[in-house]
Structure 1
Amino acid sequence: MHTTETAAAAPAKGMPLHLKVGIGFLLGTLLGIAVHLVAPDAEWVRMVIDYAARPFGTIFLNLLFMMVVPLIFSALVLGVAELGDVASLGRLGWRTLTYTAVVTGIAVLIGLVMANLLQPGVHMDPAMVEQALSSNADKTTTIVEKGRELRLVDIIVNIVPHNIVGAMGDDSKKLGIVFFALMFGVGLVMRPTPGTQAFKNTLHGLFEVCMHLIGMFVKLAPYAVACFMFILCAQMGWEVLVGLGWFVLTVVLALAIHGFVVLPLWVKFMGGMSVRAFFRGVQEASLTAFATASSAATLPVTLRVGEENLKLPRKISRFVLTVGASASHHGSALFEGITVLFLAQVYGMHLPLGEQVLVLILCILGGIGTASIPSGSLPVIAMICGIVGLKPEGIGIILGVNTFLDMCRTSLNVTGDLAMAVVVAKQSGQQDLDDAVAEKLDDIVR
């Protein structure tokens, strides 16, 4: 009797957040397309975007971004400290780095093959090329300047920051925070004293506070997603996608092959997890990544999904997912490879096999240096274009569709990070998904 009354008194569970995000995504898309069809250039549309939708979306992103630095620091330090010894950290680090390089290489290879098969640059209208370059001249100049300042040697050097406070304020130097946190964690492991244990407890408190605040902020995600999609569709409609249709098709198909073929096979055979359970577990993080177009902004959701939905061990998920958000960008590297070949085709420049191999290597390395923020890939593409002899200014051609494709590739980045966490946990022999938990996950899916 008591059990029945307790069950009856328990509040009904509300709609899951990922469903709310999906609804917000759909409503924002439909409303934006409708507005674009009815009144694309109306003053009231501009005012709604400038004074309501964009400010709300920016505030939401800022709420998440302001928690990224303390979250990265506390999560990584605790992850390293919980490993217990430096040798375990070394094995985990090398395994993560190896998987990242291999799977990112596969992603770039898929992109290059698709670009060679579909030849998207050959289908571009020269008049549209000139129009795109002229209309995006100012943005292109800024991106090209950043690309010229970006060097692979500098990316490697900046991994070790000379000023950690400066690295915290520079989105292009987030790897410096990762390195600092790793060293700090190593110090805690090597110096087990009452003082370091007290500091470790403080970090636990910091991490819990960050996750609690982020849990509050993420409740705004459905509304922010609706705003992002409304802005995108109200301003762009489908015309710009049609104009660069072959390029968009090539990128989306390559992303789909990697996301729905390569990653599921990887998770199934290397991670030992049901593909259905994996995609059911990661959908909230993938949708959030699509909306925010930022792996860093999505990191809080990614960490929670890894621990709560996929049941990954904390010391594995915190390390792999935090490093992955800063240095593992499967989708971005794939996009960079396709874009370089696309621009070569537009300009009638043939890249032989040797130079395409160079592009493959540069994209793998560039993926590590890509900032985990919206449009972080563009300066890297400009840098690669300069190395292979292409005019970096050509990047202005694809700026019209970059926002949409940025959302797509960021979603793949985050999904790939979660897949890597599953595989690393399994291959490290520390996977918490025993048979009972796996069966429970499959029951939830069914």
Structure 2
Amino acid sequence: MNQAPETAPAGKPRMPLHTRMLIGFIVGLGAGIAANLLVGEAAWLDAVIRYVADPIGQVFLRLLFMLVIPLVFSALVLGVVELGDPQSLGRIGGRTLIWILVVTTAAVTIGMVIVNLFQPGAGIPEDVAATLLASGSERAGQIATQREGVSGIDILLNIIPRNPVQAAADGDLIAVIFFAMMLGIAATILRTPATKTFVGAVEGLYEICLKLIDWVIQLAPYAVAALLFSITARLGLDVLVQLAQFVGTVLAALGLHMFVVLPILLLLFGRMSPLVFFRGAQPALLTAFSTSSSSATLPTSLMVAEENLRVPRPVARFVCTVGSTANMNGTALFEGITVLFLAQFFGVELSLAQQVLVLLMCVLGGIGAAGVPGGSLPVIAMILVMFGIPPEGIGLILGVDRFLDMCRTVVNVCGDLVGSVVIGRHEVAAPAPLPPGD
């Protein structure tokens, strides 16, 4: 995604994006801490934060918000269409759908339990957290106020939008997700020339969104420097403790899911030794770690599934292809941890019902997340705003997001390959396995 332009002078290749983001992270972090230690509450520092750093970060966040609705809508419609109607796809489609929902739900649950257990975002003094929360976006505060007093039955009813266009305009992501899923299901049932044209148009919208995200992510080094400067200039060294705890929490949750939950499912339902699996899956997992993209890893995943893991070709092609866009269990886990971490960081209390709603949105958002580096950021940004959490907090994680993206992509691909083994085992055992339908 981050190739040097053809007109770049010879001998001066463009610096990789993750390196530029790391530099922006270090510059913003260092400058903010230095400003906090040297000048503290100086009026001019407040002016720099308010009129320079914050606007730069807001431009980046607004660009992400601009893309979230079309991206999630198009990705979910296509994800459901690729899954297809289980009745027409036979056992493979139905089992793939069940696998994605079960594994993704398990992953998000693990992440949310661990983040509640270790509280990586807690520890900021209440007065500082209140100041940060008050300085958040006006829209976040309005939404937080609007959600006070909303009952559980109202939350469930609001999943179904009266007007999907109004829901999109209001940033009601879960209502948009529901509408997109309904459209995708109807499109798979109809399969008329007109619906194929519609799906083609949605696919074009999805590709355009991916390109726009690629452009927006190029601004991330400047945004991370500005956002981190704003936060660290107010918090000083305290922010480093929270950041280290956040990274440790994410890695612990990803490791628990990949090395405990998935191997147990592999043993119980795939009847394969985890050692044999990881030895055979190694090329795909290494490719996933280096590219941070499930989509880019797909050719290697297909080769590994068919040749190393001995998965029947129709099963491998269907499960791995659908999984590269829909089975983002590592990404969904990361989204849930990030939302709760930033809620703890800013002192935003989320009730159990709201956390369950976050879990549901992360499961569906994992299906709708783009299988490219940075594809989960728009979903996270919108969920933060929906629950009154200042989206500026994204700046805290952008500097370490590249490394965590590499790790969660490995979990995504591992989940696809385990799923192909499990589903392939049952298809072989069935008396008359059906190939995937069109």
Do they fold alike, i.e. is TM over 0.5? yes
Give the AA of the match of 2:65: F
* Gapped regions of structure 1 (runs ≥ 5): 1-8, 283-304, 344-357, 382-398, 432-446
Q: State the match for 1:182 in structure 2.
A: 181
Q: State the match for 1:317 in structure 2.
A: 324
What is the aligned counterpart of 1:99 among 103, 111, 134? Answer: 103
1:278-297 matched pairs, under 5 angstroms: 278-282=288-292
What whole-Å deviation, never above 9, does each CA across 1:63-119 have from its counterpart, x for those lacking one?
A: 22212211222222222223343445654443232223322333344345546xx9x
Q: Conserved in 2, the CA contact under 8 Å of 1:54 and 1:228?
A: yes
What whole-Å deviation, never above 9, does each CA across 1:113-155 have from its counterpart, x for those lacking one?
A: 546xx9x89xx9xxx66x5698689689978745533444333
**Cα offset, 1:168, TM superposition:** 0.8
CA distance in structure 2 between the partners assigned to 1:418 and 1:203 by the alignment: 25
- What secondary structure does 2:196 align onto? helix
Q: State the match for 2:253 in structure 1.
A: 258
CA distance in structure 2 between the partners assigned to 1:151 and 1:44 by the alignment: 45
**Cα offset, 1:416, TM superposition:** 8.4
1:23-102 matched pairs, under 5 angstroms: 23-87=23-87, 90-102=94-106
**Cα offset, 1:362, TM superposition:** 7.2
**Cα offset, 1:164, TM superposition:** 0.6
CA distance in structure 2 between the partners assigned to 1:228 and 1:320 by the alignment: 31
CA distance 1:252–1:241, shift in 2 (3 Å): same
Give the AA of the match of 1:262: L
Asked whether 1:367 is paired with 2:366, we answer: no
CA distance in structure 2 between the partners assigned to 1:137 and 1:222 by the alignment: 24
1:42-441 matched pairs, under 5 angstroms: 42-87=42-87, 90-111=94-115, 113-114=117-118, 131=127, 145-146=145-146, 148-171=148-171, 173-238=172-237, 240-241=238-239, 253-259=248-254, 261-265=255-259, 269=263, 272=278, 273-274=281-282, 277-282=287-292, 305-308=293-296, 315-321=322-328, 329-332=336-339, 363-368=355-360, 372-373=380-381, 376=384, 379=387, 403=393, 407=397, 418=409, 421-429=412-420
CA distance in structure 2 between the partners assigned to 1:314 and 1:11 by the alignment: 38
Q: Conserved in 1, the CA contact under 8 Å of 2:107 and 2:332?
A: no
Superposed CA RMSD: 4.8
CA distance in structure 1 between the partners assigned to 2:94 and 2:33 by the alignment: 50
- What secondary structure does 1:26 align onto? helix
CA distance in structure 2 between the partners assigned to 1:375 and 1:180 by the alignment: 17
- What secondary structure does 1:66 align onto? helix
Give the AA of the match of 1:65: F
What whole-Å deviation, never above 9, does each CA across 1:268-326 have from its counterpart, x for those lacking one?
A: 846955465544433xxxxxxxxxxxxxxxxxxxxxx3312566755333334499669
Paired residues, number = 351
CA distance in structure 2 between the partners assigned to 1:93 and 1:309 by the alignment: 21
The percent identity for this pair of structures is 27
* Gapped regions of structure 2 (runs ≥ 5): 1-8, 267-276, 302-319, 363-378, 423-438
CA distance in structure 2 between the partners assigned to 1:231 and 1:422 by the alignment: 36
Give the AA of the match of 2:420: G
Give the AA of the match of 1:372: I
- What secondary structure does 2:31 align onto? helix
CA distance 1:221–1:407, shift in 2 (3 Å): closer
Give the AA of the match of 2:174: L
Q: State the match for 1:291 in structure 2.
A: none
Asked whether 1:19 is paired with 2:13, we answer: no
CA distance in structure 1 between the partners assigned to 2:202 and 2:209 by the alignment: 10
CA distance in structure 2 between the partners assigned to 1:50 and 1:29 by the alignment: 17
CA distance in structure 1 between the partners assigned to 2:77 and 2:286 by the alignment: 32
